[in-house]
Structure 1
């Protein structure tokens, strides 16, 4: 049997062109989605050319200034209000269409979700105050979802983007599910990227040697063989071309975050999934459980001045 493709990449393993990580169709077996993750520092910019790709700019920490030139040659700029960390509620986000080149400046970290596309849509900005915060699941399966790049919240051709916060000891991306077959009205065919961050849980005091982590798993479906069973830390990336994926588990003492980027060949931009039949019954159990009272995580209040 031929060795399986490597679908898990530790932080920095995909470094390129000044970015900490770059996922695109230059990776074998990958064609419908992409992501760039990088650090912004004073006096240094990150950018990308206006090719046949639509994108969403997501501040991970700090504010981001965006300068852009559209496919029609129009120049523009905008400022995205960020956050202290990915555990401090949603940031402002921006969408740029096919053919738009961009330069990013600021201080902090930024992610850019990508999907090859053909329609040149207008630049869009979603402000943090307008982004709905969804509490999904219940009990130890409670998680917080920011659906700013989904079909209901963003006009795009292919790109679907959301982010998930899972507090310590909770499970998310569960029950394990898949979206690797085109079954209209039931299941979509979508590649998916998981970009992870982890931190000491909110309100917890930890020693300096603390090493925040979570766990993430995938396994095979009829569409293909895949096997990820990994400890995940800040900056790690998992690619899911097919197969069942989940759970993502936050270890005791540590909160877990992931940014999801999805797109695929289907004509309809929709996220339809199929649960693993062995585990889908768990969803019904949530009806008798209360959501985790620790959520939602919003902006951490600043300490009062002394």
Structure 2
């Protein structure tokens, strides 16, 4: 399990709290080839730079506001108070371009990336342009920000979105896979970057250690084998943790009662088609039929 689960700090590299799968990442991941992620926490006025490389990138403010410069062109990214406050502006940079990111307020920023060859234009996607999808129903309700999906963004290789799951709900469910190139399925690596928080309205007590907050926002992520390739992940996740899905059934991503769960997804693979085509685990796919008689969780959508 260790090679697929990276708790906060375990994949750090200089100023980056997370650096996995990039051309310059110091933490190697055996068998990982198509996606990458960098995450940094910056003080107000701090600057971080990415050199030009054969990677397409999308800059995603997680908390706070940022400015970015791509080959001399400046962009202002209106951020958000947190990942639970609705969509943010994001910036697709294309390939072969140096990127400089500066924090105007202090906060966290993610850069999703994928090795790529075909050039597409730099594009600023404003928060109000982001397609917001409410997926599932009942306790499988979740909110999806589809700013980097094929329908919303022209890009070469990757598919990028973010998902918010209210406390007590299950996301990435029913378990599914995308690890073969065949009719109805595409082969895609997938990165899950997580953040968690105490759900609004939850009572706050004192923890066993006597701390005033007395809380430990936590979620859970599951990945298991779909064929002869072994994989078995059942991980606790908190803010800053990463789970990699090279293949296999994955789901659910579970928001524990009392704690909301966020994750940023980055997917790409070797196939010709840039599309998210999946197969459900046949033991659990039937659950989709139950959503027809249920309402979407009334806590959604999460907005500012």
Q: TM-score, normalised by structure 1?
A: 0.93
Number of residue equivalences: 290
Give the whole-Å Cα distance in 1 for the aligned partners of 2:116 and 2:186.
Answer: 17
Structure 1 residues 223 and 267, CA, compared in 2 at 3 Å: closer, same or farther?
A: farther
Structure 2 unaligned runs (5+)?
Answer: 23-27, 206-212
Structure 1 residues 292 and 47, CA, compared in 2 at 3 Å: closer, same or farther?
A: same
Residue pairs, 1:112-123, within 5 angstroms: 112-123=111-122
Tell me which residue corresponds to 1:51.
53
- Pairing partner for 2:250 from 199, 220, 245: 245
Q: Give yes or no for contact 1:181–1:223 (8 Å, CA) kept in 2.
A: no
Q: TM-score, normalised by structure 2?
A: 0.93
Q: CA shift at 1:129, angstroms?
A: 1.0
- Pairing partner for 1:217 from 218, 222, 231: 222
- Pairing partner for 2:83 from 86, 103, 114: 86
Tell me which residue corresponds to 2:209.
none
Tell me which residue corresponds to 2:38.
36
Give the whole-Å Cα distance in 2 for the aligned partners of 1:217 and 1:91.
Answer: 28
Provide, for residues 40-97 of structure 1, a one-character-per-residue CA deviation record: whole Å limited to 9, x for no partner. Answer: 112421121110000010000000100121xxxxx20100000000000000001011
- Pairing partner for 2:189 from 191, 200, 205: 191
Following superposition, which runs of at least 4 residues in structure 1 exceed 6 angstroms of deviation?
none
Q: Give yes or no for contact 2:119–2:156 (8 Å, CA) kept in 1.
A: no
Q: CA shift at 1:6, angstroms?
A: 1.5
Tell me which residue corresponds to 1:133.
132
Provide, for residues 141-161 of structure 1, a one-character-per-residue CA deviation record: whole Å limited to 9, x for no partner. Answer: 000000000000000000100
Tell me which residue corresponds to 1:62.
64
RMSD: 1.1
Provide, for residues 70-125 of structure 1, a one-character-per-residue CA deviation record: whole Å limited to 9, x for no partner. Answer: xxxxx201000000000000000010111111111111100000000001221001
Structure 1 unaligned runs (5+)?
Answer: 70-74, 300-306
Give the whole-Å Cα distance in 2 for the aligned partners of 1:206 and 1:98.
Answer: 46
- Pairing partner for 1:294 from 272, 282, 299: 299
- Pairing partner for 1:24 from 18, 21, 42: 21
